[in-house]
Chain A
Amino acid sequence: GAGVSQTPSNKVTEKGKYVELRCDPISGHTALYWYRQSLGQGPEFLIYFQGTGAADDSGLPNDRFFAVRPEGSVSTLKIQRTERGDSAVYLCASSVLAGGETDTQYFGPGTRLTVL
């Protein structure tokens, strides 16, 4: 079946602009996660959705970052007033259960964001 998909695969924007990154999880997966991976680092957790609600947004770096999942499927990560330090690969993952200990997260290919 289809895996997690993310669009666009690459996004180049200018400092101060607004961007939206989209994630399509695996059909039927309840949980959805966003991570950010900077060059040479492992992914860092941003936010976790259980259904339509953000169950844990403790990883969002500041209030310029926001994410929604209005129908419990597709999610959009929104970044306002982008800064050069926001440049990274943004990863989305989904899982069947709602964050259980043995839950396996399946990752998308990521969106590479470059802020000039």
Chain B
Amino acid sequence: DAKTTQPPSMDCAEGRAANLPCNHSTISGNEYVYWYRQIHSQGPQYIIHGLKNNETNEMASLIITEDRKSSTLILPHATLRDTAVYYCISTGTASKLTFGTGTRLQVTL
């Protein structure tokens, strides 16, 4: 699986869009990009995943660059409840997820 690189921390004002970047420059053609988040010490929660097309669901949008070497997770209107550690994972099989240290997003008033 391709290694991913994320900034260790980010801040975002409540109500604004949170844009979380992820670099996966060694991603191979059959690997998907997954995003999970972990709020405080709870179990991680699935957010979204995609291959090459942009994806959107009720939680977030995933923008993958044309060369697939990087992606951005967008939380359109961040709230305090979105404060969490966000993990970007690149894998060819959803049964073997490798969680790095992620990005700690702090949403502030």
Q: Do A and B come from one complex?
A: no
